[in-house]
Amino acid sequence: MTPPKAPHSAESCGSPTDFSESVGQRLRHRGVTPTRQRLEIASELLREPVHLSADEVHARVRKAGANVSRATVYNTLSLLVERGLIRQVVVDPGKVFYDSNIAPHHHFYDTDAGELIDIALDDVAVTGLPELPADKQLDGIDVIVRVSSRQ
Amino acid sequence: MTPPKAPHSAESCGSPTDFSESVGQRLRHRGVTPTRQRLEIASELLREPVHLSADEVHARVRKAGANVSRATVYNTLSLLVERGLIRQVVVDPGKVFYDSNIAPHHHFYDTDAGELIDIALDDVAVTGLPELPADKQLDGIDVIVRVSSRQ
DNA sequence: GTGCTTGCAAATGCTTTGCACAAAA
DNA sequence: TTTTGTGCAAAGCATTTGCAAGCAC
């Protein structure tokens, strides 16, 4: 593809996730005050690469014993996306995944299973994109390969 | 009528749109009864290649003098997508475009303008996709190149 | 203490549904 | 006439917001 200057999102993002670094550290490094709720939420995502919906995050956090409201989950997820700690993947209207793998990559989306599967970027190339107008900046390239179970 | 999840998309679709053929004909060919409301709705899309949200379609149809409810617009758009006459493009949660260009192609999405711009497919190639599991079928490939105006 | 965070519930925005009426075949 | 489509208003979801009370530093 075409890799110009660009900050957050699909192709360009911060440094790839180091899943061994402490969650609190990673939040601080991005200027996010590590409150108890944020640590709980971020831990569900940053402990290992996952694809979760906001509601799944909420459910997991509560299951883990923390009393966190939906509003806080949504606010925190937005914050983490904004700060480049996780990535948002929209596959359908009202179907949003939060992806803790921020290394550049793409996705299979299995419509039947409702499941997202990573495609490593070094497998895939998108070539021949027209140049951008001078006043635009590239924010990212999302490639979603939609699949379903054969009938 | 039965408005299920959108099947058609990027790579796989019906025959490319012939914008010169009558809208009524095109509906009939796909087994869609051409009622007055459907003709109004379909005309806004099938007259020329456009990217419209459901609400924009509703506004245009009403502006054109027809008394069509939101429900009918939504039902009809789902039907047209299901029958492969138009295509649904999801760029953000709650931001869905209906695209009357069903020839395989991809998109720029300008976050600031909220505008979708076609990228002709012959310019772009996506290579190196892993093979699909045998029991899966490919429904389509969506490539969305996100751009913005701010620095 | 000061200012950012949280929870709750209410509000929002978009989309779907139920049902009586109207139009098509 | 029998089937199919339409309008309206109400219901549904996922997400956001306003504000008082609570934490972090």
pLDDT tier, B77 (very low <50, low <70, confident <90, very high otherwise): very high
DSSP sequence for B116-134: EEEEEGGG-EEE-PPPPPT
Mean pLDDT of chain A: 84
What is the arithmetic mean of pLDDT over B113-142? Answer: 85
**What is the rounded CA–CA span in Å between residue B9 and residue B11?**
6
Best probe of the B interface among A55, A87, A107, A126, by most B CBs < 10 A, is A126
pTM of the predicted model as reported, rounded to 2 decimal places:
0.84
pLDDT value, residue B149 = 80
What are the tens digits of pLDDT across the range A63-94? Answer: 988 889 999 999 999 999 999 999 999 998 88
Q: Which helix (H) or strand (E) holds A116?
A: strand A115-120
3-class DSSP state of A37? helix
pLDDT value, residue B20 = 57
From the Cβ of B70, is strand C under 7 Å away? yes
Name which of A132, A108, A144 is nearest B119 in CA terms.
A132
Q: Does B131 touch chain A (CB under 8 A)?
A: no
DSSP sequence for A52-68: E-HHHHHHHHHHTT---
* Beta carbons of A85 and A42 less than 8 angstroms apart: yes
pLDDT value, residue A12 = 40
